[in-house]
Structure formats: C-alpha cells, structure tokens
Amino acid sequence: MFVLFSKKFLLFINNVYICSTKSLTMATFNSGQNISRYVVQSLIKENLYTETYRVEDEDHTPYFMKVFVLKKMPEKLLNTETGKVLEIEYSQNLKHKNIVSYVDSGETDTEEGPVQYYLTNYFSGELLIEKIQREGKLREEDALVLFRNIVEGLQYIHAQGLCHNDITPRNIMLSATTDGTPEIIDLGHLSAKCSGKVPFDTSDLEVAYCANETFAGMYDEQSDIFSATAVLFTMLTGKTPWLMEFSENMKRARRAMLQKEKRKAEPLEFDALIIEERTKAILAKGLAVAYSDRYKNVENILHDLDSDEVPTVAESKKEDKSNPSPSQGGMSHQIESPNKVDFEIQQGKGNGFKDIAGMEELKTYLSQRVIFVIKNKEKMAKYRLTAPNGMLLYGPPGCGKTFVAEKFAEETGFNFILVKSSDLASSFVHGSQEKIAQLFKQAEKKAPIVICFDEFDALVPDRSNPAAQYSASEVNEFLSQLNNCSERGIFVVATTNRPDKIDPAVLRTGRIDKQVYVPLPDKEARKEMFMIHLKDRPFDANSIDTDKLSEMTEGFIASDIAYVVNDAAMVAAFTDQDITEELLETAVKNTHPSLRQDTLSIYEDIRRKMENTERSNFTRPRIGFVK
C-alpha cells in the first residue's frame, strides 16, 4: 500500500513544477505505452532533456522511471567512453538504506531518437520539507536521528568517490514503509568532486544550502557536509540559516552574492536555541563559513554525535576564508576576487575559415567587410575608413555561431580571448562590473586582439526589462568599455540566440557596429559536415552520396548531423561493418530536426527586425553633416 503524495510534494521534487494529472505536449511516452516490461501510467514532470514517469510492472508494482533524451542532453552529462548517462551509471552502484533504491535501467528507440532510462522505488511517505512546514521545527532528538541517517547516506556516497551536491529538505524523503527512515531521493547532481568546471546544471540549486566555495565552482565532501548541517539547522529552527528572501526573477548569481555577503556580515548565533551545547557546536562547525574551520569528513561528524564531549569549534574570524588553499589541506582553488581577473590569451591553432564547412557567403562577407578593414591600417588611413568596432553573430541555436567566432579570430591572426557569461559572474558586490573593466584592460595590453563573448544576451540584457534591473551596472560598464574600443586595438565578436533580448544601446554604431545572421547550414555545408564526421571512421566511400544526404537533411543543424553520423556508426559497430549510405539514410529518417519550423519562423522575424536596426544605424543623420 503506497501513501498518496500531497500537492506540496508534487511541487517540490527537483524544484521543478510537476503535473501529474495530464501529459505535457512534448512527452516521449504516452499512458499505456510499454517500455520493456513496464507500462507507463502517467507523466510526472519534464524539462529540456529528461522526463519522469510513474510506471508499473506486470505485478502492478509502481516505480519512478527517469528518461533521458540523448539527442537533447549536454555532452558533459554523458560518459564519453561508454555513451551512458552518468547519473544512471552512478545510481546503479548506490545501495544504501538512506539512498533511494535503484531498480532497473535500459535503452530504447523513440521518435525523439534513442533514450536511456532508469527506475527507482516509488517513494512512499512525505518530504522532510513537508514535515518541517507542518510541525514548525522538530524535537532535537528526532532531528539528530534524521541528521545521522542523512550523513550516513553521504558517507556511503563519498566512499564511492562521489558527492551529492544538492542536499536540502526537499530532497529527503521520510519513508512510510520503514517508519520514517530518511532517503536521499534526488541524484541529478551526483558527480566526482570538482573545482572550476561543473559537470551538472547549477541553476536549480538553492543558495541557502550551498557552501560559499560552490559559488566559485568547487564541490566536494565538505560542501556536502555544509548542506547537511544546514538541513539540521532547518529542522531545529524551522528556517534556513542566514534566512533571506529573494524576488522570483533574481538571477542565481545575484542570490549567491547576497547570501555570501550576509554570511560574512552576520555570524550565526546559537545561544538562543534551546538545545544541547554539543548540538550547538556541531552546527557551528558544520556551518563554518571558512572552509578550513569546517568538518573535513562525515566520520568526524559521527564521532562528535557519539561523543559526550562538546566539539572544539574554531573562533569566528572577520576575514572571509570560505575558500580552501593548499596550506589548509583542501583543494587548490581560490575564490576569485572581484578586483582580479586573468583570462587566457589564445593564439589561433586552427585553419581559420578553412575549418568552416560551407557558408561561403558568410565567410566572404566577414573577409571583405570586416577582416580586410581591421588588418589593413594603411588603406584605412588612405581611404579614411572607420574601423569596425564589434560584430554580433546571431541566429538559431546549433548553427555554429561560437565556432564561427573562434575561426574569425584565427582568420585575423590576432590574439583572442573567449569569454562565457559564467566567466564574468561574481559573488561580490559590483564584482562583475570590475571583471568587465579588468578584461578590457588586460586585452588592451595584448592588442591587436579579438574578444569573443558567448551568450551575449546574458551579459547585456535589455535594461527596460524589470528582470534585468540587477544587471544595469554591468550593462553600463559594457557600454563604457565598448565605446570605440577599436581605437585601443580591441575588436569584439559577440554571439547570441536572442538578439532581441540585448540592450539596444549596445547595438548602436561605435559599439557593436555589425549584426550578422548565421543561418542553418546550407546544402554545401551539410555535405562537408557529413564528410567531417565520417573522417577517421570506417565507411564505404563508394556508397556514400553526400548530395542525397544533404537534401534529406534540409533544416538540420550541425549537432543533428553529428548525431546522425554517430547513430549510424553505432549500428555499424554492433554489426561489425563499415558505415554505409543505407545506415546513414536510416539514421536520418529516425532523427527529427532539433528546430521546428515555427521556431525558424520566429528567427526569420528576428532577422528582419535586426536588419532594420542595423540599417537605421547607418542612415541616421550625424551631427555636423548634411544628409
């Protein structure tokens, strides 16, 4: 007999809204459909690349089934050697009473292409967050029992060389079948400990339960311990440590910055809590802002839980030491100061535009209208040409805008810096603003140089949008730095899928002068892409008809073609044969274009608006000149 879930539970799993009463329009499976020996009962939730269903086996035993649509998944979530979803590989090796139980897994083909899935026990009971909301706060002895079980589950995860990275009261299920035993139920952020590049999505992580070092991309056992202790604090008080309220539209980076500032300015006080001194000390040590003052491992916590003595807690320090250093015995990683930025200056190692398949019209335009001007200073002076300042590459996702930007930099022969929106994020007040200024200052020292900004709309959102109010200072700094930056030997290339979200002031002449539409790969480009992806694989050269394949893939983006070739190669590997035209055509027929026609129509509308914007920039009368 399974306990029915409350409405709150349906809202809280993975912090994503769940609809259990009707299927969403893009669901891969329908109610009543068979997947191996399981029958789909209903769709529970879906996001960009995963779907969760309630399924039953032949005995009508219910399970949760999480489905991963491989075609839509970020590559970092896959094991590149086995092709398996990392979450599935991690989950099937976890067997512990305080961790949700893995049941089965598999792979099947769908209209969306191959999917992988795994099943867990159907949760019965209530979430810890529900219990806290119902009771306000828990008795100390009950909270400590739950805390011990949670950290024992973490101890097991850490022993496997993994970190959970998302311990919150919403991810702890109190099982009704085992008299309230807590189970860690969300394994979507499992990873090996990491520093810098994070192999999972962080946008849904609650900052209240995240240690300071995680805001700089460092996740390890100690950050898990911080999160678990924050859960203990919530159980004992009914609120999060350093309680803060944020507006719904506030970006996570801004929330993290405010949370960090409050932790630094307002040390937690435990004197008012009516709990044992030992428990107060465990809270203080587990929630220490300074990384070096925190518990190093779960074994230390379990020792203090079993000890009659009050644990020793480091004295509170005014300076912020939330980041570990080698001398502290932690990972060698420093949280960046807002006053220091060190971007990698790169020299092109590729072949420039020769590496771009097809797109001759685009390459000719960039060569003649941009590169020719910025590389020929003598002719600029002779003809009194105005050097272009910057260029925006925009268009549908998956069309190679970032790749074109990199190859553009190589074609110029200049130094270049590739900047992603996350590179300029900061947890400090005005930290991003200072990083932008430092970036341009550093670039000027290495001029002539090309700065490539990826996902530019995230860096300079339209300030008229209320959701962008917290980015106004960063946008203003960009406007200041972009003003005639070509005079300092800096040329800016920016890429975006949504140019309509960019602040209009950025797109005027003297800042981002040119807006260039990067379309879907044309026929010639698609032909070359097939040969590029077939290179170094065993294929039947006599049977491959790239003209036909190019015609069949009208509307496909670069990643679609890469997927088609890989799918055909996988079938060929299973049957130990060369990749043939037949295998490729079959893969094409089984693959739907990533971009729907209605999406492409939206981008055509955006293109028309952007062309009008650029035209108006050059037809606007200048002060002091007669039109």
- Rounded Cα distance between 590 and 539, Å, is 20
SS3 390: strand
| CA-angle at 120, arms to 114 and 125, nearest 5° | 140
Instruction: Indicate the DSSP class of residue 6.
Output: P
Q: Confidence class of residue 609 from pLDDT cuts 50, 70 and 90?
A: confident
199 neighbors 191 (Cβ within 8 angstroms)? yes
Write down the pLDDT at residue 313: 79
SS3 422: helix
**Mean pLDDT of the 583-587 span:** 93
| CA-angle at 583, arms to 78 and 556, nearest 5° | 65
Instruction: Indicate the DSSP class of residue 371.
Output: I
Write down the pLDDT at residue 424: 82
Amino acid identity, position 55: V
- What's the pTM value of the predicted model, to 2 decimals? 0.52
Neighbour order of strands in the sheet with 514-517: 415-419, 449-453, 490-496, 390-394, 514-517
Give yes or no for a cis peptide into 448 (omega within 30° of 0): yes
Write down the pLDDT at residue 621: 38
- Rounded Cα distance between 472 and 503, Å, is 10
**Mean pLDDT of the 418-432 span:** 73
Q: Confidence class of residue 7 from pLDDT cuts 50, 70 and 90?
A: very low
Write down the pLDDT at residue 5: 37
Write down the pLDDT at residue 397: 86
Share of the chain above pLDDT 90, in %: 39
- Rounded Cα distance between 78 and 70, Å, is 9
E strand map for 267-313: none
The pLDDT tens digits of the residues spanning 330-385 come to: 444 444 444 466 778 887 677 888 888 878 888 888 888 888 888 888 888 888 88
Closest CA to 592 of 544, 551, 553: 553
Token couple for 610: 């952007």
B/e letters for 62-72, b = 16+ CB within 10 Å, e = fewer, are bbbbbbbbbbe
- Rounded Cα distance between 283 and 140, Å, is 12
Measure Cα distances from 296 to 225, 307, 329, 331, 431 in Å. 8, 17, 9, 12, 29
The pLDDT tens digits of the residues spanning 12-65 come to: 333 333 333 333 345 789 989 999 999 998 888 888 889 989 899 999 899 999
The pLDDT tens digits of the residues spanning 499-517 come to: 988 999 999 888 998 898 9
Q: Confidence class of residue 98 from pLDDT cuts 50, 70 and 90?
A: very high
**Mean pLDDT of the 398-408 span:** 85
468 neighbors 251 (Cβ within 8 angstroms)? no
Classify the C-alpha dihedral 528-529-532-538 as positive or negative. Answer: negative
- Specify which of 220-224, 245-249, 360-364, 604-608 reaches the highest per-range mean pLDDT: 220-224
Q: Confidence class of residue 66 from pLDDT cuts 50, 70 and 90?
A: very high
Q: What is the 3-state secondary structure (H, E, C) of 241-310?
A: CCCCCCCCCCCHHHHHHHHHHHHHHCCCCCCCCCCCHHHHHHHHHHCCCCHHHCCCCHHHHHHHHHCCCC
110-119, 470-479, 488-497: range with lowest mean pLDDT: 470-479
pLDDT for residue 618 is more than 50: no
199-213, 287-301, 594-608: range with lowest mean pLDDT: 594-608
- Rounded Cα distance between 617 and 514, Å, is 10
Sketch out the chain's domains with CATH numbers. 7-121 (3.30.200.20), 128-328 (1.10.510.10), 352-520+604-619 (3.40.50.300), 523-589 (1.10.8.60)
294 neighbors 229 (Cβ within 8 angstroms)? no
The pLDDT tens digits of the residues spanning 150-187 come to: 999 999 999 999 999 999 999 998 877 677 889 998 89
HSE value, Cβ hemisphere, 13 Å, CA-based, for 379: 6
Which run of H or E residues covers position 54?
strand 50-56
- Rounded Cα distance between 477 and 496, Å, is 19
Write down the pLDDT at residue 26: 57
Share of the chain above pLDDT 70, in %: 86
Write down the pLDDT at residue 578: 93
pLDDT for residue 415 is more than 60: yes
pLDDT for residue 1 is more than 90: no
69-78, 218-227, 287-296: range with lowest mean pLDDT: 69-78
- Rounded Cα distance between 392 and 415, Å, is 19
What does the mean pLDDT of the chain come to?
A: 83
**Mean pLDDT of the 605-612 span:** 83
E strand map for 449-534: 449-453, 490-496, 514-517
| CA-angle at 187, arms to 184 and 189, nearest 5° | 125
Write down the pLDDT at residue 334: 41
Amino acid identity, position 361: E
